Chain A
Amino acid sequence: MSYHADERGYYGEFGGAFIPEMLYPNCEELRQNYLQIMAEPSFQEEFHQLLKDYVGRPTPLYYAERLSKKYNTKIYLKREDLCHTGAHKVNNTIGQILMAKRLGKHRIIAETGAGQHGVATATVCALMGIECVVYMGEIDIARQAPNVARMKMLGAEVRPATSGSKTLKDATNEAIRDWINNPVDTHYIIGSVVGPHPYPDMVARFQSVISEEVKSQLLEKEGRENPDFVVACVGGGSNAAGAFYHFLDTPEVGIIAVEAAGKGIHSGESAATSALGKVGIIHGSKTLLMQTPDGQITEPYSISAGLDYPGVGPLHAHLYTSGRGEFISITDDEAMKAGLDLCKLEGIIPAIESSHALAIFKDRKFKENDVVVVNLSGRGDKDLQNYIDYFKL
């Protein structure tokens, strides 16, 4: 059994392209071309050159000795926090901007929640000299001012999404509406493994450089390519998709996805989609999502802006329902403490998203000789104000 997308973009029962006809030509153009373009030697060369020289790849696989000692197991951190722009997001935007160029597109649109994907998109648009419009919920614009400023400095136009709940899901709706209104010259850079086929598969492929590097780095350090476990946080799930990618069909590697429980799974303020979601359609994809019994999509909550998406990528929905992935949810408090813990033990300030992945060690025990790779998806600079407020620093 394969856990990758089939040619129609399905992961088991999840995925597909549930899109209105207005989007069909755009998605179809992408679907017909993405694999072929990605396979072109010139594309691969340019992609890897930029990942190396511009993003700073390969990112280190760092053996966290003091953290390992504390939890009595072998913990490696995949340092995506050291990527240019501060998180794994840029792996995907580099790939997609090269894709857009080859498709002859002159204008880029993107959605963003906390602003990390918006910054990563504005960055590659500046790099390539392409017009960039980023949709961001009005509420997020107010609470993520530094990232809004970054996008503007990089030459992007930030357009407020004022519909619905005025956050990430509405920013995504607005970006999709823009694409409907500009079907010919515009490419939509989705920031996660969500949306209609081929996006989940395409984004996972661009992010798969993470697990590709883990394999060769682990071979060097441990004499084997496969860890016992890979751990990553999941909002939409792009860093997790990249970290799991080359291990999906290797059953001896345990896959652990960590979701945000917010103030507690049953508190009414949570983003733990696997626990709270039901099968439905969001942003053109059939997946698990948080919704009312009437099928209206509800607003999730997490202290981490990058994890509060009401759905989850179809790959992850499949990993959950098939049992291939182990899903753990972590509260705001647990994540914040684990984040501070990493600062003190290893001298690394993690993004709050990544802190969720780090927080599993308190209760989820591993064997002494287990090799556990945690994808440290981003750095915590963007979250300083949250850390300051939470710990009263």
Chain B
Amino acid sequence: MNRIKQKLQGDKKILSIYFTAGYPALNDTVKIIQDLEKSGVDLIEIGLPFSDPLADGPTIQSSSTAALKNGMTTTLLFEQLKDIRKSVSIPLILMGYFNPVLQYGVEAFCQKCEEIGIDGLILPDLPLDVYQEEYETIFKKHGLINVFLITPQTSDARIKAIDDASEGFIYMVSSASTTGAKEGFGTEQASYFERIAGMKLKNPQIVGFGISNAQTFQQATAQTKGAIIGSAFIKHLTQNGVDGISSFVGQIR
């Protein structure tokens, strides 16, 4: 069974952490993943840096720019990750924009993910219809779960379509924003969480955007399966480097 599906089975709330591969230093990737697992994180999203990350706010943008400047490439990331399954057993997801995947070759990319032991992909600018028509078969052949996003603006009909197309979980973007734009939740989020909970979707939801500490983690997971922290962790890396990852994770839960 895919590690993501397995992880989602229990009652435990999922803490997922995003970081940009190649940041702060080019070869930090493996250490960050290992330390996150040791600190009790349930799932990791490894960001493939892109020159034009249009859904991201300044924090993740600048980490991407720095990672590319450090020399990160798709090929190098795969090289860094080639032995990762010898030391890490939690689910690993690659997250990035579609163009670098397209240039690597979608089939070759998925093949490589399978060899390494990657469990899923999040490619926000690969639309649902294109995925289903052109790439679903390839993803499935290589045992990869494709994770789709929904936002407060997504219509019920589209959420149902996304739920039908999903396996694993749905990435629930907490507000209409780029990453790191807003901290915390207001009444808009409360009614959004309420609405989604009421839809009784077949896939669990994990909330992203706006989560940075224990309080927001608890709010986000009150009615959902888990939450994702991205920008706040990148900020931590910027300030502290790769030391103190466990204390960052420890203050979340």
Q: In the complex, which of the residues A18, A19, A163, A176 contacts B65, with contact meaning CB atoms closer than 8 Å?
A: A163
Question: Once the chains bind, are B149 and A20 in contact (CB under 8 Å)?
Answer: yes
| B residues whose Cβ falls under 8 Å from a Cβ of A | 50-58, 61-62, 65, 68, 73-75, 97-104, 124-127, 130, 148-151, 153-155, 158, 173, 176-178, 181
A183 contacts partner chain B, Cβ-Cβ < 8 Å? yes
A142 and B243 CA atoms in complex are apart in Å by 40
Any B CB within 8 A of the CB of A112: no
The 5 A-B pairs of least Cβ separation, nearest first, read A295-B103, A295-B100, A20-B124, A21-B149, A296-B51
Which residues of chain A have C-beta atoms less than 8 A from B73's C-beta? 294
Contact: B51 with A297, CB < 8 Å? yes
Q: Give the residues from 12 to 49 in chain A that come closer than 8 angstroms, CB to CB, to chain B.
A: 16-22, 24-25
| B-contacting residues, A201-236, CB 8 Å | none
B50's nearest neighbour on chain A, judged by CB, is A296
| Distance A68 CA – B40 CA, assembled complex (angstroms) | 76
Contact (Cβ within 8 A) B155 A18? no
Query: Which residue of A24, A164, A170, A295 is within 8 Å of B102 (Cβ)?
Result: A295
A176 to B73 CA separation, bound complex (whole angstroms): 25
B76 nearest in chain A by CB position:
A294
Q: Closest CB-CB distance, A360 to chain B, in whole Å?
A: 32
The answer to whether B155 touches A19 (Cβ under 8 A) is no
The residue from B54, B62, B99, B149 contacting A173, defined by CB atoms under 8 A apart: B54
Mask for A153-182, Cβ within 8 A of B = 1, else 0? 000000000011000011001001100111
Interchain nearest-CB distance for A282 vs B (Å): 7
Residues in A with CB closer than 8 Å to B124 are 20-22
Given contacts A16-B130, A21-B148, A296-B50, contact A183 B61 (CB under 8 A): no
Interface core residue of B103, B154, B158 (most chain A CB under 10 Å)? B103
Choice from A176, A181, A282, A291 contacting B177 with Cβ under 8 Å: A181
Bound complex: CA of A281 vs CA of B103, how far in Å?
10
Residue of A nearest to B96 (CB): A295
Q: Is A283 part of the binding interface, using a Cβ–Cβ cutoff of 8 Å? A: yes
Say whether, besides A24-B158, A173-B52, A181-B181, A19 and B99 are in contact (CB < 8 Å): no
Q: How far is the CA of A20 from the CA of B148 in the complex (A)?
A: 9
B99, A281: Cβ atoms closer than 8 Å = yes
Contact yes or no, A17 B127, CB < 8 A: yes
| B151 close to A22 (CB less than 8 A) | yes
Looking across the interface, which residue of chain B has its beta carbon closest to that of A284? B125
Residue A293 at the B interface, CB < 8 A?
yes
Q: A22-B176, A25-B154, A295-B100 are in contact. Are A176 and B54 (CB under 8 A)?
A: yes
Contacts of B173 in A (CB 8 A): 21-22
Residues of chain A with a CB closer than 8 A to B103's CB: 278, 280, 291, 293-295
Give CA–CA (A153, B176) in the complex, Å. 32
Q: Given A18-B125, A180-B176, A281-B125 in contact, is the A295-B101 Cβ separation under 8 Å?
A: yes
- A20 near B153 with CB under 8 A, answer no
Whose C-beta in chain B lies nearest to the C-beta of A182? B176
Whether A183 contacts B153 in the complex (CB less than 8 A), given A21-B124, A177-B54, A296-B68, comes out as: yes
What does the 1/0 interface line of A134-164 toward B look like (CB < 8 Å)? 0000000000000000000000000000011
Q: Which of A163, A169, A170, A176 has the most CB of B within 10 A?
A: A163
Query: How many residues of chain A get a CB closer than 8 Å to chain B's CBs?
Result: 35
**Residues of A284-340 whose CB lies within 8 A of B:** 284, 291, 293-298
Docked Cα-Cα span, A164 to B99, in Å, equals: 17
A83 to chain B minimum Cβ distance, whole angstroms, is: 31
Once bound together, how far apart are the Cα atoms of A279 and B68, in whole Å?
A: 21
Q: What is the chain B residue whose CB lies nearest that of A293?
A: B103
Q: Which residues of B are found within 8 Å of A298, using beta-carbon distances?
A: 51
Contacts of B100 in A (CB 8 A): 294-296
CA distance A172 to B237 in the complex (A): 28
- For B99, B102, B173, B177, the residue with the greatest tally of chain A CB atoms inside 10 Å of its CB is B99
How far is B53's CA from A177's CA once the two chains are assembled, in angstroms? 10
Our pick among A16, A20, A21, A183 for the contact of B54 (Cβ within 8 Å) is A20
With a cutoff of 8 Å between Cβ atoms, the chain B residues found around residue A164 in the complex are 51-52, 61, 65
Interface contact A297-B99, CB-CB below 8 Å: yes
Contact A24 to B54, CB < 8 A, known contacts A16-B130, A281-B98, A295-B100: no
Please give the distance in Å from B170's CB to the nearest CB on chain A: 10
Inter-subunit contact B127/A177 (CB<8 Å): no
A278 CA to B55 CA, complexed, in Å: 23
Alpha-carbon separation in the docked complex, A296 to B99 (Å): 8
Shortest Cβ distance from A17 into chain B, in angstroms? 6
Nearest-Cβ distance from residue B62 to partner chain A, whole angstroms:
8
Q: Could you list 15 further interchain pairs (A-B, Cβ under 8 angstroms) beyond the known A22-B55, A25-B151, A180-B176?
A: A16-B130, A21-B150, A22-B149, A22-B151, A24-B153, A163-B61, A170-B52, A177-B54, A181-B176, A283-B54, A284-B54, A293-B103, A295-B74, A295-B102, A295-B104
Docked CA distance A281–B123 (Å): 12
Contact of B99 among A17, A22, A280 (CB under 8 A): A280
Contact of B176 among A183, A291, A293, A296 (CB under 8 A): A183
Q: A291-B99, A294-B100, A295-B102 are in contact. Are A282 and B52 (CB under 8 A)?
A: yes
The distance in angstroms between the C-alpha atoms of A298 and B99, with both chains bound, is 13
The interface residues of chain B lying within 8 Å CB-to-CB of A291 are 99, 103
Q: Could you show 19 A-B contacts with beta carbons less than 8 Å apart? A: A18-B125, A18-B130, A20-B149, A22-B55, A22-B176, A164-B52, A173-B54, A177-B55, A177-B56, A180-B176, A181-B176, A182-B176, A183-B176, A280-B99, A280-B102, A282-B99, A291-B99, A295-B50, A298-B51
Q: Which chain B residue shows the least CB distance to A165?
A: B51
A284 neighbours in B (Cβ, 8 Å):
54, 125
Complex CA distance for A164 and B49, rounded to whole angstroms: 12
